[in-house]
Amino acid sequence: MVNIFRSISTLSVPIPKLFWPENIRKAALEKSISDEADPSWFWIVILLVTGISICAWAFYYKNNLTLSYNDARSHLNVARRVVDSLQPGLAQIGSVWLPLQHLLQLFTIWNDFMYRTGLSGSLISMISFAGSNIFIWKIIKQFNLGNLAALTGVAVFSSNANILFLQTTPMTESLMLVTSLGAVFFFTKWVKYDQISSLILSGIFTLLAVLTRYDGWLLFAFLSFSTFAVSLMKHGRVKAEGHFILYSSLGLFGIALWIGWNAIIFGDPLFFVSGPFSAKAQQEILAARGLLPTKGNLALSIYTYFLTIKENVGEVIFILGILGFIKALFSKFNFTYKMAFLGLFVPVVFNIISLYFGQSAIHLPQLPPHTWFNVRYGIMSLPAIAICIAFLVNRREFVASILIMIALLQAALMYSDNNVITIQDSVRGSSGFFLDDTGAWLNENASQGLILTAASSNDALIFKSGLPLKHFITEGMAKYWNEALIHPARHADYIIMHEGDLVYNNLVGTSEFTENYKLVYLGNFASVYKKKTD
Amino acid sequence: MAKKTKASNFITISLVYLFLALVFLYSVYQLAISHPVPALKSSNFIQPKLISESPWPIKSIDTQIVSKHWTNVPVESVNAQIEMLKKLGVNYIAVDTFYDDEKEMYKWANAIHDQKLHVWFRSHWKNWEGDEGLPASMTPQEYLDKTKSFISHNPKLFVSGDSFTLAIEPEQAGVGLGKKFLDWNQYRQFILNELVYSNEAFQSIYLGNQIHTNWISVNGWVANNAFTQELADKLELITVDHFSVQTSTIGANDDPNKVAEDMSRALDEIYNKWKMPVLLGEWGYQIYQDTDPDIQAEVIKKVLGKIKTKNYLIGVNYWSHMGNHARIIDDQSGSSLNFRPGAFEIAKVFKNTDDLSLTSSLSATPLPILKKVAR
């Protein structure tokens, strides 16, 4: 403990002695002083991308696509249940997903318009998109690549058809991008200027990232290691320990919060890992059906993820990104800068590891089982590619112009070919089920009485029904749920289920169910049973 | 030395610029050639004349469930089913076998042609909508080319007077962002291409202007909202698959008069909009749940009775003969299959007679055991 305090106390030294030779230190300082200021048109660029973001939302909303992902509707329901359910309260945040997106939605989700249109979540994604553009610009500037390179990076990122679509949906990808980019930006700034405030800000953004998606946990681990390594090189072991503790305590706090939440609410600190709604439980179902071909196959995992990136960014941008990556690796920047730069590639490593260990599944039409599922994970690498391409600009206007035009052409090609893969996933793939029929039936016929259903399987259908959430007995309504799974007739006028979901597994075959309920609707995805009146 | 470095830099920069220029040109080229649906290459929409028959030129029954989704049905069973359907007064029998399954198609087509009846081929490729676990990866251009080639290589499958629908209900493949057709313009273009490509293919096997290629079934919403007068004029008829209002609540019953009224109104609406002959490409009762055979017969009687009087109607394809709730032959996979009462109501209309003795002439036909295996 004494060592820890000693380590932290050393951090107040304003200009640390650098680890590497004096001439390099001087050069770095001179370089930093000569940083170009942001041009006057920087905010015009950000205003422009914000305008594009709003137009994209209006366009996709008009085309009924902002809520086309089933998960998008579930994210809205998770937040909405906090204020509208049989047992409202913060506990409804649950354990399926990390909580930040849902907590942010609480500011607006109470409003019916914001909930039904999905704007409650879309707004967070759109603000995150604008923020991501700012951070991409700022990161590129940290590498002293100039305004033209920064503009190119922003153009590559903001013109991508897939991110433009995803930022209109209430999904968590956009929020994940902005929080992780924030963490990397401030980390890069800390590497460059050695300001403690930057390291703290990086830690705060990491805290937000670890509460957004599990991708953030690997970013936290990488940046924690990098903090120690960079500081060790610059300042020695004692200070490195202090920097490490300062940075990592913030991210660790987020992780501890989540583990504590699981322990308090679900009685198991690792409920999110091993619970019935965890990613692991869901992937086991896929694995049993032979739909997890990447599990245990590293080569296929790598190939699948790189193919997913290519499908998300387009082949030309993908190739340019690789060239930019090579150029960046062989650039004059020292090891510490490269550590910061590599932080952008954490999503690549995270997704490959997840695929290899069977913790996640990505399906592409080119690979068995020849469908679309979770293809949006490829978009997590877009910022890295955009920043890599910025390395190619080399302060040449002509090159920047060509690269920006190529980015725009790539986007135009995706639109003209109707080949925006994240949209395809949501309208043709497994990420979006076709629930209109059952949803409409429920709305017309089941508006009176309570409905028992497993939200873990049917949340999107619950949203689609348009009925208030207080009509549904779901997993979070423990007071009703536990009893309803044994004696459904005491509470439920209707039961919605499909083969394999929690309600189905508990009720089918029981006398209580067969004696009291009759099938009234046979849907494509789920069936509806009604309590017998006679 | 400095000169050498300068020259080397110049070459490097030139190569970079050249590379970027090539990438740029490649992107422009890709954009220029991206046409998800091909442009029309001819205006050959010509169709053979329909032979006038009472009450309609097209009296058809669909075999979709069995001919598309059951496999290994013995040829004797297929023959017996066709014989049964012939007794109902049909002149067409619709076969919905995937175009991928050539052998199965020949089995059905031969059985139908042997009974001096015509085949209405109405299906698609498995890769089109993603059937039987295959990816829905086929592009519209690939679809058109592959079907054209399929027709050209199977001249013995067709007989003059048959009908061939290149892609049934193409809207099922999806229209909109992220789907097979970006918009309804592309969709309409594809429908016209269906005629052009199949006409060209039939010409190549000396069946030009002898096969009906314009019975392009679409659903009721599409017929009303996504067609244009230009498309309707070129098709010369509207083929609509419409099931009118049928309750999807299990155990609930429909009012037969209401079903008939709804069907009548729906057909009138389509005709009044386009002023073109209408072919009811798919209709059957009940499609959501098993229904009492007598209620089914009553609904069939009311609906066919109501629409029989419509001058613009040129035919009906009852959907379908076996294998689902709307069946008119009981399909217990047994050896003695019987007509349900609804079949007699169809026969009365198709044969244009109220002769009640018809019932006795449609005796049960023993069928070889069917092997019901979903493909």
Q: How far apart are the first and last CA of chain A?
A: 71
Q: What are phi and psi of A417, to 5 degrees?
A: -85, 0
**pLDDT score recorded for residue B19:** 85
Looking at residues A222-251, what average pLDDT do you find?
96
Cβ–Cβ < 8 Å for A147, A106: no
CB B321 within 8 A of CB B327: yes
Cβ atoms A316, B26 nearer than 8 A: yes
Q: Which of B118, B123, B129 is nearest to B102 (CA)?
A: B123
pTM: 0.88
User: Please, are residues B154 and B119 in contact by the beta-carbon 8 Å criterion?
Assistant: no
Exposed/middle/buried for A130, CB within 10 Å: 0-12, 13-18, 19+?
buried
Q: What share of chain B is helix, strand, coil (3-state, %, to 5)?
A: 45, 15, 40
A522 touches chain B (CB under 8 A): yes
Contacts of A65 in chain B (CB under 8 A): 177-178
Q: List Cβ<8 Å contacts ≥24 apart for A257-263.
A: A257/A211, A258/A98, A258/A99, A258/A210, A258/A211, A261/A93, A261/A95, A261/A99, A262/A95
Q: How confident is the model over B333-361, as a mean pLDDT? A: 78
| Lowest-confidence segment of A88-92, A206-210, B26-30, B272-276 by average pLDDT | B26-30
Q: Is the pLDDT of residue A285 over 70?
A: yes
Residue in A65, A365, A413 nearest the CB of B27: A413
Cβ contact, residue pair A521, B250, below 8 Å: yes
Distance separating the N- and C-terminal Cα atoms of chain B = 75
Looking at the predicted structure, is the pLDDT value of residue B360 above 70?
no
Please tell me which residue, A221 or A4, carries the higher pLDDT value: A221
Count of A-B CB contacts under 8 Å: 87
The whole-angstrom distance between A193's CA and the closest CA on chain B is 33
Q: Are the Cβ atoms of B177 and A427 closer than 8 angstroms?
A: yes
Give the residue from A243, A241, A215 showing the smallest Cα distance to A384: A215
- Closest to A302 (Cα-Cα) out of A368, A348, A369, A236: A348
Task: Residue A159: list chain B partners with CB under 8 A.
Answer: none
| pLDDT at res. A243 | 97
Q: How far apart are CA B186 and CA B176, in angstroms?
A: 10
Q: Cβ–Cβ of B178/A521 closer than 8 Å?
A: no
Name residue A521's beta-bridge partners. Answer: A528
pLDDT in tens, A194-232: 999 999 999 999 999 999 999 999 999 999 999 999 999
Q: Is B18 on the interface with A (CB under 8 A)?
A: no
Residues 184-223, chain B, touching A (beta carbon < 8 A) = none
Single out the residue of A202, A200, A193, A192 nearest to residue A223, CA to CA: A202
Residues of chain B in contact with residue A424, where contact means CB-CB under 8 angstroms, are 178-179
Q: What percent of chain B is modeled with pLDDT above 90?
A: 71
Asked if pLDDT for residue A237 goes beyond 70, the answer is yes
Residue B32 CA to its chain's centroid (Å): 33
Of A370, A402, A413, the CB nearest to B137: A370
Residue B94 has pLDDT above 80, yes or no: yes
Q: How remote is the C-alpha of B109 from its chain's centroid?
A: 16
Q: Is the pLDDT of residue A290 over 50?
A: yes
Query: What is the model's pLDDT at position A6?
Result: 53
**pLDDT score of A61 more than 90:** yes
Strands lying side by side in the sheet with B92-95:
B163-165, B118-122, B92-95, B58-62, B313-319, B278-283, B238-241, B217-219
Per-residue pLDDT at A20: 45
Cα A203 to Cα A208: distance, rounded to the nearest angstrom: 9
CB contact under 8 A, A416 and B27: no
Distance from CA of B31 to the nearest CA of A (A): 5
Q: Which of A403, A416, A519 sits opposite B250 (nearest CB)?
A: A519
Could you give the CA distance from residue B329 to residue B341 in angstroms, rounded to a whole number?
9
pLDDT above 70: percentage of residues in chain A = 93
Cis peptide bond upstream of A347, omega within 30: no
pLDDT category of residue A18 using cuts at 50, 70 and 90: very low
- Is residue A433's pLDDT more than 70? no
Å between B324 CA and nearest CA of chain A: 14
Report which of residues A1 and A301 the model is more confident about: A301
Q: How far apart are CA A496 and CA A477, in angstroms?
A: 16
CB atoms within 10 A of CB A302: 16
Given this model, what pLDDT does residue A19 score? 42
Q: Do A420 and B178 make contact, defined as CB atoms within 8 angstroms?
A: yes
Mean pLDDT across B77-96: 94
Assess whether pLDDT exceeds 90 at residue B16: no
What's the pLDDT score for residue B368?
56
Nearest Cβ partner for A405 among B24, B133, B178: B24
Shortest distance between the Cα of B182 and any Cα of chain A, in A, equals: 6
Query: Residue A97: pLDDT above 90?
Result: yes
Length of chain B: 375
Task: Average the pLDDT over A104-118 and give the result.
Answer: 97
Q: Does B178 touch chain A (CB under 8 A)?
A: yes
**Most A-contacting residue of B37, B142, B249, B291 (CB-CB within 10 A), to test interface:** B249
Q: What is the rounded average pLDDT of the residues B247-270?
A: 95
Of all residues in chain B, the one with the smallest CA distance to A524 is B288
User: Does A518 contact B16 at a Cβ distance shorter than 8 Å?
Assistant: no
Residue A519 binned pLDDT confidence (cut-offs 50, 70, 90): very high
Nearest by CB to residue A316, choosing from B26, B248, B251, is: B26
Q: Are residues B176 and A427 in contact, defined by beta-carbon separation less than 8 angstroms?
A: yes
> Any idea which residue has 């805290």 for tokens?
A207
CA dihedral A312, A318, A320, A324 (to 10 degrees): 100
Tell me the pLDDT tens digit for each residue of B114-162.
999 999 999 999 999 989 888 888 999 999 999 999 999 999 999 999 9
The answer to whether the Cβ–Cβ distance between B21 and A402 falls below 8 Å is yes
The tokens describing A506, both together, are: 């508990």
Report the side by side order of strands in the sheet with A517-522. A472-473, A451-452, A494-497, A527-531, A517-522
pLDDT digits (tens, 9 = 90+) for B283-303: 999 999 999 999 999 999 999
CB–CB of B31 and A409 under 8 A? yes
Asked if residue A309 has pLDDT above 60, the reply is yes
More confident residue, A389 or A432: A389
Q: What is the pLDDT of residue B333?
A: 59
| H-run or E-run covering B238 | strand B238-241
CB contact under 8 A, A423 and B182: no
Mean pLDDT of B81-104: 95
Q: Which two tokens stand for residue B333?
A: 């996979």
Could you report the per-residue pLDDT of A318-369, keeping only the tens digit for each? Answer: 999 999 999 999 988 888 999 999 999 999 999 999 999 999 999 998 898 8
Closest Cβ–Cβ partner in A319, A370, A416 for B31? A416
Cβ <8 Å between B16 and A399: yes
Running DSSP on this structure, what letter comes out for residue B65?
Answer: I
Nearest-neighbour CA in chain B from A191: distance (Å): 31
Contact of B366 with chain A, judged by CB distance below 8 Å, is answered with: no
How much of chain B, in percent, has pLDDT values that exceed 70?
A: 92
Q: What is the rounded distance in angstroms from the CA atom of residue B2 to the CA atom of residue A526? A: 76
Flag the least confident range among A87-91, A119-123, A289-293, B262-266: A289-293
What angle, 0 to 180 degrees and rounded to 10, lies between the N-to-C axes of helices A382-390 and A298-313? 70
CA distance A417 to chain B (A): 6
